[in-house]
Amino acid sequence: MTFKAAAIQMCSGVDPQRNAETVARLVREAAAQGAIYVQTPEMTGALQRDRAALRAILRDEANDIIARQAAELAAELRVHVHVGSTPIALADGKIANRGLLFGPDGGKICHYDKIHMFDVDLDNGESWRESAAYQPGSVAHVADLDLGKLGFTICYDVRFPELFRQQAVAGAEIMSVPAAFTRQTGEAHWEILLRARAIENGVFVIAAAQGGVHEDGRETFGHSMIIDPWGRVLASAGPTGEAVVLADIDVAAVHAVRAKIPNLKNARSFALDEVAATGKGGVAA
């Protein structure tokens, strides 16, 4: 089946209501151009570095403005709306970095909580500790849709190829990578990581991103893109500002690429042996 997919690029602020208005406008724009799967970026509902201020605006999933709106838009436009992620309040006081997929009837198909926490110290002085506020997920998902089999990741997950591989082995034909990549890491690694994940698993990759300088002071890399199973960039946005990135997805291309290079089938288990050196020029027997 061939269908048109859209990756929406945003520059989310601290007010969920304003962000929701942006989502509605851009999802409608994507649907008007023929998209029947529309993905938004990581942290669609709010990018807020101040943890106390973030908690003050959070709601549980049942009362979250972005989740409710996505369900309504999906039903109204008869499309799949995938909230790449949005912060959701959990009962224990922690926060879920949660992706939500709604079908054309407005019903929720599944959710995915980001597994890998962005706990890093960058060269420019940026320091992030997602695990201080967010509860990591523990379950990966592959949704069997009429469009194809869709796997879920969020942002930092892209640096963990085993997550992609397990979903590909389970049948995923399309991988979602919504993100809010920092400008520094994005300049170095964003495109190459996305293309690598597409190539090594023979999947389409749809990556909706945040792009620009945000109200809370952070700067994200943008360059939302859609990549085919051969690693070709089918469509891409610029570094900043809003965009609707569109491309045709033909899942038959996944099986054609996997037939040419059947690395998923050819993978072998192996043992790993740590060899200790005995001296210059020699190794232990």
Q: Active-site residue among 11, 114, 130, 219?
A: 114
Stretch 144-160: mean pLDDT, rounded? 97
pLDDT at residue 19 is higher than 60: yes
Rounded to the nearest 5°, which phi and psi values hold at 256? -65, -45
Instruction: Report which secondary-structure segment, H or E, holds 180.
Output: none
Is it the case that residue 185 has pLDDT exceeding 70?
Answer: yes
CA angle 106, 112, 116 (to 5 degrees): 155
User: Is-catalytic flag, 110?
Assistant: no
Quick check: pTM over 0.85?
yes
Q: What is the mean pLDDT of residues 11-21?
A: 96
Which residues sit opposite 120 in a β-bridge?
Answer: 128
Counting every residue, how long is the chain? Answer: 285
The residue ranking higher by pLDDT, 53 or 166, is 166
H helix runs in the chain, sequence order: 16-32, 51-57, 65-77, 161-169, 183-201, 252-260, 263-266
- The active-site residue out of 11, 42, 130, 149 is 42
**What is the share, in percent, of the chain residues with pLDDT greater than 90?**
83
Choice among 11, 130, 149, 155 that is catalytic: 155
Active site residue 187: no
* Extended strands (E) in 73-126: 80-89, 95-102, 108-113, 119-121
The pLDDT score that the predictor gives to residue 278 is 75
Class for domain 2-283, per CATH?
alpha beta
pLDDT in tens, 221-245: 999 999 999 999 999 999 999 999 9
Task: Return the closest-CA partner of residue 112 out of 70, 133, 143, 89.
Answer: 143
55 pLDDT exceeds 70? yes
- Each domain of the chain, given as residue ranges in start order, spans 2-283
